[in-house]
Amino acid sequence: MIIQWVFFLYLGFSTFYFFVFALASIFPYRLKGKNTDLHRFAVLIPGYKEDSVILEVVEESLKQTYPKSNYDIVVIADSFKPETLEALRQKNITLIEVSFEKSTKSKALNEALSQLSEEDYDLAVVLDADNIMEPQFLEKINEKFIPGRIAIQGHRIAKNSNSAFSVLDAISEEINNNVFRKGHRIVGFSSALIGSAMAFRFSYFKEIMKDVNAIGGFDKQLELKIIKNRDLIEYHPTAFVLDEKIQNSKAFSNQRKRWISAQLYYFRKDFLISFWYFISKGNLDYFNKAFQFIQPPRIMILGLLMIINVISLFFNPLTFKILWASALLMSVSGFLASTPLKFYNMKTLSAILHLPYGFFLMMKSTFFHREAKNKFIHTEHSSNINQKEESS
């Protein structure tokens, strides 16, 4: 009973935390303020062996409605093919070639920032090499960068839904947008960063990135440093960037393995410090962020609660049956509240059939995440995303 109480408190509180912010996300959120100045943007696109997508992304990035004289596309090319580099040199962009013994996104960004001057740029935007900004993205970000604001996370959405895993990944992304970005801002906390589709004051970003050296999860290290300084990360719910979603089980497993490894690392590193900052300085934002990292992934919580409820029907007293059933109901309600209406369709219903396999992969990634701690795990992207549905 003692072990079950401990387990229930852990899963129960994680479920309650998710439910509260999912419920908050139902309410509208509009980023306040309006800037009328035209800032100068550096759009940073780091890529590792992204030959298949980078040219398309560059072409789309040059189609912004924002004045072309006020933004530069900066491609940071790591291990690209010679023919890709030559094609990029023909574009109206800034090309920075990098090479490292062990490649990471933070190394690529820091090398590019060392070659760019804060005198030339006001704001920095970070994209992944597969990201496509909506034509009004820079215009919308510029409008909301009022004096005093230092960081804005844009709204990243799915570029593709051509497999069951890409649909599940797209839903997961939108749940994260609602819970950890919109929901958190409505309650008063900082938005979580995603690693791309995010904008910063250029000089601030250049300075704070000097101490960011993560192998994986550089966005987590970055947001912890920002929030620790008591700076606020905003969220722009209508500034959209298209992001390629994973298309198969191998990519799903590798991606989650990388996320879990980073999450556990930064929980161990920052939790006690964040608790002290909360007690001594009242920095609840920092403590809240570090506390998030010890919570299990949502799909794992849902899967565990379903399994426990089945077992509970046969072996538990009535009190625990009610408690576990309540936790499951709260978890399902959180999913329903934070999933956008556009996903309530037959394609989603078909993708849900893959959830048990996703749960298995998530459990596997949890137990075998250590290889991601010291090794950069690259997610491959494809320019051809209109592929056939992956078979189960």
Please give the pLDDT value at position 380: 61
Q: How large is the average pLDDT for residues 229-246? A: 95
Tell me the average pLDDT of the chain: 90
168 alpha carbon, distance to own chain's centre: 15
Which domains occur in the chain, in start order? 41-258 (3.90.550.10)
Please give the pLDDT value at position 389: 34
Helical ranges in 77-135 per DSSP H = 82-89, 105-115
**DSSP assignment letter at 53:** T
330: phi > 0 → left, psi -120 to 50 → alpha, else beta; which? Answer: alpha
Please give the pLDDT value at position 385: 47
Please give the pLDDT value at position 182: 98
Between 11-20, 48-57, 376-385, the lowest mean confidence (pLDDT) is in: 376-385
- Per residue in 344-370, pLDDT (tens digit) is 999 999 888 888 877 777 777 666 545
Q: Is the pLDDT of residue 286 over 50?
A: yes
Using an 8 Å Cβ cutoff, are 257 and 372 in contact?
yes
Which pTM does this prediction carry? Answer: 0.89
Q: Which DSSP helix (H) or strand (E) runs through 145?
A: none
Please give the pLDDT value at position 391: 31
| Other Cβ atoms closer than 10 A to 290 | 24
Q: Write the DSSP assignment of 191-206 as a string of letters.
A: PPP-SSSEEEEHHHHH
- Per residue in 298-325, pLDDT (tens digit) is 888 999 999 999 999 999 999 999 999 9
- Cα distances (Å, whole numbers) of residue 21 to 142, 158, 185, 223: 28, 22, 10, 19
Distance CA 182, CA 223 (A): 16
94: β partners: 74
Ramachandran angles phi, psi of 155, nearest 5°: -100, 105
Please give the pLDDT value at position 376: 52
What does the block give as tokens for 325?
A: 């059933």
Of 248 and 224, the one with more pLDDT: 224
